[in-house]
């Protein structure tokens, strides 16, 4: 194995590090920018074969390592804020200038080349050491440790021009290259794993956000639909159920499988037309609102209350028979006459399912008869004209 083969192998390893940089790292990642500079020694060494430079393979190898180390130092001190492309472009221009000067036989591999190589190796080692002390990043420590092989290799190559000494120096450089390839590969894999974990976390968070927003939007839509539905079922003035919703509520109780009996109270405001004509429609509206508010505040949660039309209202009392309905409605009637201002009175008619009817129409007819009976006998009372025997005073 001759020295030419060893130096070409080293150049190939440098090129491998450059390719790994391109495939595994980001161009703006400052931790790996120096890896792109591995292209320089590869280019300088193989340029010697094509251009037949008037220097030995070993001297050309030293020049290649010197340029590489010099550019690494420049990256640390000057070019660290630049992208890989900028650093590599400056390095290529410097390499082309060196090759041109070597082709013109301007430089000779003399003792000061060894000194320059040792100095750049030590400076690079120190810069890696300083970066590690500042960052305490494991990767920087590994790069610093691998740089030690270049320091030792440069020292060995400066001892003698004997074949085994030169070979030992190049091999130490190759150990540096291999270790750096391993470090770069391991950390590229680690970065890839970290990125995948972050992507999984982001995906998980995204799914949670989507689920949360979906539930939020669903809740908002459900609330909006409930609001619209409730608004469609309510009388805009009194906020009681409107006529259709009230009839539907009666029909619901009739069709409910657990319904045994229930009562409805159909009532209106006594002399409501006179209130409108003498006090005005505004006072009339206030009377409707006051009556509605009183009944809705006194009813049970299971009760339904609606405005049937004009000044007519219906109170639905599930589980309440006719005698109990009369008693409840009589208390409400008295409360209306005592608390309303201006004072108003109401007259009420009662009907009970299933004794007085099995449809909303039949129940309303019986309740209306009871109301009409009260209107004829003096108003401000509760009347019943149904089929349940009740002792009642009129």
Whole-number pLDDT of residue 54: 66
Residue 256 to residue 21: CA distance in whole angstroms: 76
Residue 158 shares a structural domain with residue 23: yes
Q: Which of 389, 263, 377, 381 is nearest to 320 (CA)?
A: 263
Residue 176 shares a structural domain with residue 39: yes
What is the pLDDT averaged over residues 181-195? 77
Tokens of 24: 């595994």
Radius of gyration of the chain (CA): 49
Give the range among 105-109, 229-233, 380-384 with minimum mean pLDDT: 105-109
Residues with Cβ within 8 Å of 381's Cβ and at least 6 positions away in sequence, in order, are 333, 347, 348, 374, 394
Residue 129 shares a structural domain with residue 278: no
pTM: 0.49
- Is residue 366 pLDDT above 60, yes or no? yes
In 3-state terms, what secondary structure has residue 270? coil
Write the CATH number for 94. 1.20.1070
Q: Which of 354, 353, 351, 357 is nearest to 370 (CA)?
A: 351
What is the pLDDT averaged over residues 239-266? 94
User: What average pLDDT does the structure give for the chain?
Assistant: 83
Residue 190 shares a structural domain with residue 89: yes
Residue 39 shares a structural domain with residue 186: yes
Q: How far from each other are the two terminal CA atoms of the chain, in whole angstroms? A: 130
Angle 126-131-134 (CA atoms, 0-180°, nearest 5)? 125
Residue 46 shares a structural domain with residue 175: yes
Residue 178 shares a structural domain with residue 289: no
What is the pLDDT averaged over residues 361-389? 92
Domain boundary among 181, 202, 223: 202
- Is residue 117 pLDDT above 70, yes or no? yes
Domain annotation covers residue 247: yes
Confidence category of residue 394, pLDDT binned at 50, 70, 90: very low
Distance of CA 213 to the CA centre of its chain: 8
Domain annotation covers residue 331: yes
Residues with Cβ within 8 Å of 64's Cβ and at least 6 positions away in sequence, in order, are 11, 40, 41, 42, 44, 45
Domain annotation covers residue 158: yes
Residue 155 shares a structural domain with residue 248: no
Domain boundary among 202, 235, 262: 202
Residue 25 shares a structural domain with residue 173: yes
Backbone angles phi, psi at 265, to 5 degrees: -120, 115
Domain annotation covers residue 34: yes
Tokens of 131: 């970066």
Give the range among 27-31, 345-349, 352-356 with minimum mean pLDDT: 27-31
Domain annotation covers residue 365: yes
Write the CATH number for 358. 3.30.70.270
Domain extent at residue 286: 243-384
Confidence category of residue 391, pLDDT binned at 50, 70, 90: low
- Is residue 246 pLDDT above 90, yes or no? yes
What is the pLDDT averaged over residues 138-156? 82
Domain annotation covers residue 224: no
Structural domain count, the chain = 2
What is the pLDDT averaged over residues 197-215? 86
Domain annotation covers residue 353: yes
Residue 69 to residue 358: CA distance in whole angstroms: 102
Highest mean pLDDT out of 171-175, 237-241, 375-379: 237-241
Residue 32 shares a structural domain with residue 103: yes
What is the pLDDT averaged over residues 88-95? 75
Residue 117 shares a structural domain with residue 46: yes
Residues with Cβ within 8 Å of 167's Cβ and at least 6 positions away in sequence, in order, are 3, 6
Contact of 313 with 292, CB cutoff 8 Å = yes
Residue found under tokens 């004829």: 376
Domain annotation covers residue 266: yes
Residue 175 shares a structural domain with residue 68: yes
Question: Tens digit of pLDDT for each residue in 20-74?
Answer: 766 655 444 444 466 777 777 877 777 776 777 767 777 778 888 888 887 788 7
Question: Tens digit of pLDDT for each residue in 312-324?
Answer: 999 999 999 999 9
Residue 349 to residue 325: CA distance in whole angstroms: 10
């Amino acid at each position: 194995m001759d020295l030419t083969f060893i130096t070409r192998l080293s150049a190939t390893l440098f090129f491998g590090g450059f390719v790994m940089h391109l495939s595994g790292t980001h161009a703006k990642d400052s931790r790996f920018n120096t890896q792109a500079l591995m292209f320089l020694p590869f280019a300088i060494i193989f340029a010697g074969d094509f251009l037949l430079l008037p220097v030995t393979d070993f001297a050309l190898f030293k020049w290649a390592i010197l340029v590489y180390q010099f550019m690494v130092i420049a990256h640390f001190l000057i070019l660290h804020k630049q992208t890989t492309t900028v650093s590599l472009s400056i390095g290529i221009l410097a390499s082309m200038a060196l090759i041109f000067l070597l082709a013109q036989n301007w430089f000779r591999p003399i003792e000061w080349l060894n000194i320059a190589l040792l100095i750049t190796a030590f400076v690079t080692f120190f810069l890696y050491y300083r970066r590690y002390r500042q960052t305490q990043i494991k990767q920087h420590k590994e790069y610093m440790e691998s740089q030690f092989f270049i320091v030792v290799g440069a020292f060995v190559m400066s001892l003698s021009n004997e074949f085994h000494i030169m070979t030992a120096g190049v091999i130490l450089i190759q150990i540096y290259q291999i270790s750096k390839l391993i470090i770069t590969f391991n950390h590229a894999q680690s970065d890839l794993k970290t990125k995948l974990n972050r992507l999984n976390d982001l995906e998980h968070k995204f799914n949670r956000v989507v689920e949360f927003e979906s539930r939020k939007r669903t809740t908002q839509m459900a609330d909006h639909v409930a609001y619209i539905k409730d608004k469609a079922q309510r009388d805009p003035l009194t906020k009681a159920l409107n006529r259709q919703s009230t009839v539907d509520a009666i029909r619901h109780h009739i069709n409910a499988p657990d319904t045994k009996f229930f009562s409805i109270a159909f009532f209106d405001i006594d002399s409501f037309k006179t209130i409108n004509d003498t006090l005005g429609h505004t006072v009339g509206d206030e009377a409707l609102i006051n009556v509605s508010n009183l009944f809705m505040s006194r009813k049970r949660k299971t009760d339904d209350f609606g405005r049937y039309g004009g000044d007519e209202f219906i109170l639905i009392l599930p589980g309440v028979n006719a005698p109990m309905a009369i008693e409840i409605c009589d208390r409400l009637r008295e409360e209306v006459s005592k608390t309303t201002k201006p004072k108003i009175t109401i007259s009420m008619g009662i009907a009970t399912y299933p004794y007085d009817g099995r449809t909303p129409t039949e129940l309303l007819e019986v309740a209306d008869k009871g109301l009409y009976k009260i209107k004829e006998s003096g108003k401000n009372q509760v009347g019943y004209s149904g089929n349940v025997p009740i002792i009642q005073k009129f």
